[in-house]
Chain A
Amino acid sequence: MIPAALIILTSLLFPGIIVKVKARVSGRKGPGLLQPILDIIRLLRKGNVYSTTTSIIFQVSPLIYFATILFSIFFIPFGDAAGLISFQGDLFLFIYLLGLGKFFLIINALDAGSGFEGMGANREALYSMLAEPAFIILFGTFSMMAGYDSFYEIFAHWHLNSSTYLVLSLLASYVLVQIAMVENSRLPVDDPKTHLELTMVHEVIVLDNSGFDLGLIQLANAFKFGVFGALIANFILPEHQVLWIRALIFIGVIFLFAVIVGLMESFRARLKMEKNPQFILTLSSIAAIAFLVALIITNKLL
């Protein structure tokens, strides 16, 4: 229960921190930390405007997308304490739940019948397809080292007391940060601030969503950042510490992740659209390096 509550609480502040950091870096005061979440609450109270082209799929898909992200939070452990849901192979269900959410987001865009949204949908489908191997190779590496395929047991057997584990943690954190950027359609693959539909990915997908449905999608995006932040936090949570210290580190890592995202978006330009697949495939290569390092550590390669 603790990790789910911490992820939900920190996720609510995540978009606010990114906006604040970006504002501060560009010399502005920026809105309050709670402003993005207040906007989401406002949207959740509003009515919807539906295109006459859309069907029931357009109405239920934001809800299913939100459900998949919310449910995936329950799988995340808290160091050596299991998440709300934990069983052998929960890792695969976690990945496929995110895939289910993505499936509905894509058909949601296609249901609107706009050429722009179709364009965003195919980009989203391609980038997700390319990012998935990086995630699974990474967790395949940890699973090989731990000897288990559940989040809880992988992280429970993850010890930061050796330099090799530290190197792997750094590699994993880097890949997870970049996957989170791709999965959340942020820089360098997509720019949420862009105002030109032709260059959008995620923003163009949700162009026709409004009111309650848009609120759910934005809340799901915030939660998704929280999920990836929590995965990174689990790599560096110290063992045998009192609960409140570990909770503070957990929250600290997720907040630091939000600050890093804000800084990256302040100083980084988006890639040319045709360069995005190369960038995403590079993440799989880095994850493969982590796998080879793990083979060396476990004396299988050398």
Chain B
Amino acid sequence: MAICGLPPFNGFISEFLIYKGFFSGLENNIYTSLLFLGGIVGLTLTGGLAVFCFTKAFGIVFLGAARTNKTQQAHEVESSMLFPKLLIAIPIVGIGLGSYLLIPTIGSIASLYLPPGTVLHREWISPTLLSLSITLGLFVILVLILYVWRSMQQKSVTIATGATWGCGYPALTPEHQYTSTTFADNLKNLSLSLSGIKTHYHAINKEDIFPSEKRKYETHQVDELEKILILNPSKLFMTVMLKFTVLRSGKIQHYILYGLGFILIVAFLTIVNAL
């Protein structure tokens, strides 16, 4: 939730400050107005994509029925292993709710990287962040009040359990669970060639009247941008680097020889440089 920039977590404070900067830039000339509008739209879409992505990731990993037998047997770890996560959660919530209190600290860090004599105008943002902290605190209080109301109401009524509504298919099986690929399917249709679906399935032919082979249908998403920008260059780099594995003989005398060779080259280059 913090990475999606949602309140009341630290990610929201970052997005809030960026939006404030962009909006203040809208008032300048046409170039900055259009540039900052582009920034605003980009940031909004990024925020929307983050919500889309992390509801998908969280939903597929943690929610619904178990997708495989392995996850069916999963259980919570010991509290000693949960403790480090709590240590991370504290600053995430703390920065979100108490951003105002961090201004002096952030200000002193920022001043280290600014030209000497630069005056930081903390008064530009301090009142806003104070109001924001108070408002987010009020929101948390409202949620707690509603929770107490709900708890009281639930005590006086019957709470029952049953199967998930399945429109004629109430038995939840792993096959009925929503998958990552299907969740992203409608977004994929918009992103055109930037993403693709790879399907692994041996289709049934006309002559297979009684197919004996057990078939499995599996799909996964391919990120074309990741493929072009990261996977292909790193594959090329690895191919080049593999050529050097010939030097990795495993014999210590060879490695001493490499070290000696390196020192000789450095010495030779030093002499050449001195000339």
- Give Cα A66 to B65, complex, Å: 26
Asked if A140 CB lies within 8 Å of chain B CBs, one says: yes
Chain A 1-59 interface residues, beta-carbon cutoff 8 Å to B:
44-55, 57
Residue of B nearest to A49 (CB): B160
Q: Is the CB of B20 within 8 A of A208?
A: no
- Give Cα A136 to B59, complex, Å: 27
Q: Is the CB of A110 within 8 A of B165?
A: no
Asked if B197 CB lies within 8 Å of chain A CBs, one says: no
Contact-residue bracket for chain B: 35 or more
Asked if B177 CB lies within 8 Å of chain A CBs, one says: yes
Q: C-beta contact mask, B56-73 vs A, less than 8 Å → 1, else 0?
A: 101110011100000000
Chain B 158-187 interface residues, beta-carbon cutoff 8 Å to A:
158-167, 172, 176-178, 182-187
Q: Which residues of chain B have C-beta atoms less than 8 A from A136's C-beta? A: 40-41, 44
Residue from B1, B33, B177 within 8 A of A295 (CB atoms): B33
CB distance from B76 to the nearest CB of A (A): 12
Q: A48-B160, A111-B64, A211-B157 are in contact. Are A63 and B16 (CB under 8 A)?
A: no
Stretch touching chain A among B108-116, B125-133, B225-233, B246-254: B125-133
Asked if A223 CB lies within 8 Å of chain B CBs, one says: no
Q: Is the CB of B55 within 8 A of A106?
A: yes
Q: Is the CB of B139 within 8 A of A71?
A: yes
Q: Which residues of chain A have C-beta atoms less than 8 A from B127's C-beta? A: 87-88
Residue from A53, A125, A133, A137 within 8 A of B172 (CB atoms): A53
Q: Which residues of chain B have C-beta atoms less than 8 A from A137's C-beta? A: 37, 40-41
Chain A 130-168 interface residues, beta-carbon cutoff 8 Å to B:
130, 132-133, 136-137, 140, 143-144, 147, 149
Q: Is the CB of A66 within 8 A of B146?
A: yes
Asked if B7 CB lies within 8 Å of chain A CBs, one says: yes
Stretch touching chain A among B21-29, B77-85, B211-219, B267-275: B21-29
Stretch touching chain B among A112-120, A229-237, A240-248: A112-120
Q: C-beta contact mask, B16-54 vs A, less than 8 Å → 1, else 0?
A: 100110111011011001000100110011011101100
Residue from A48, A63, A85, A133 within 8 A of B147 (CB atoms): A63
Q: Which residues of chain A have C-beta atoms less than 8 A from B136's C-beta? A: 93
CB distance from B127 to the nearest CB of A (A): 7
Q: Is the CB of A70 within 8 A of B142?
A: yes
CB distance from A269 to the nearest CB of B (A): 21
- Give Cα A60 to B148, complex, Å: 11
Interface residues of A, CB < 8 Å — how many?
A: 74
- Give Cα A67 to B150, complex, Å: 12
Asked if B87 CB lies within 8 Å of chain A CBs, one says: no
Q: Is the CB of B59 within 8 A of A208?
A: no
- Give Cα A7 to B51, complex, Å: 28
CB distance from A82 to the nearest CB of B (A): 12
Asked if A268 CB lies within 8 Å of chain B CBs, one says: no
Chain B 195-250 interface residues, beta-carbon cutoff 8 Å to A:
none
Q: A55-B63, A116-B167, A122-B185 are in contact. Are A133 and B41 (CB under 8 A)?
A: yes
- Give Cα A63 to B131, complex, Å: 24
Residue from B5, B58, B128, B161 within 8 A of A51 (CB atoms): B161
Q: Which residues of chain B have C-beta atoms less than 8 A from A87's C-beta? A: 127-128, 131-132, 135
Q: Is the CB of A89 within 8 A of B65?
A: no
Residue from B33, B49, B177 within 8 A of A129 (CB atoms): B49
Q: Which residues of chain B have C-beta atoms less than 8 A from A52's C-beta? A: 161-164
Q: Which residues of chain A have C-beta atoms less than 8 A from B147's C-beta? A: 60, 63
Q: Is the CB of B132 within 8 A of A93?
A: yes
Asked if B97 CB lies within 8 Å of chain A CBs, one says: no
Q: Is the CB of B59 within 8 A of A107?
A: yes
Q: Which residues of chain A have C-beta atoms less than 8 A from B93's C-beta? A: none
- Give Cα A63 to B149, complex, Å: 10
Q: Which of the listed residues A111, A122, A295 has the most CB atoms from chain B within 10 Å of its own CB?
A: A122
Asked if A272 CB lies within 8 Å of chain B CBs, one says: no
Question: Can you list 11 A-B pairs with a CB-CB distance of less than 8 A?
Answer: A52-B164, A70-B142, A89-B20, A106-B51, A107-B55, A107-B58, A121-B59, A122-B185, A133-B44, A137-B40, A300-B33
The 6 A-B pairs with the shortest beta carbon distances in the complex, nearest first, are A118-B178, A129-B48, A110-B59, A113-B64, A87-B131, A47-B157
Residues of A at the B interface (CB closer than 8 Å) are 44-55, 57, 60, 63-64, 66-67, 70-71, 85, 87-90, 92-93, 96-97, 99-100, 102-103, 106-107, 110-119, 121-123, 125-126, 128-130, 132-133, 136-137, 140, 143-144, 147, 149, 197, 207-208, 211-212, 274, 277, 284, 291, 295, 300-301
Task: Beyond A88-B20, A129-B48, list 13 extra A-B contacts (CB 8 Å).
Answer: A47-B159, A63-B150, A71-B139, A88-B131, A99-B51, A110-B55, A113-B164, A118-B177, A119-B182, A136-B44, A211-B157, A295-B33, A300-B29
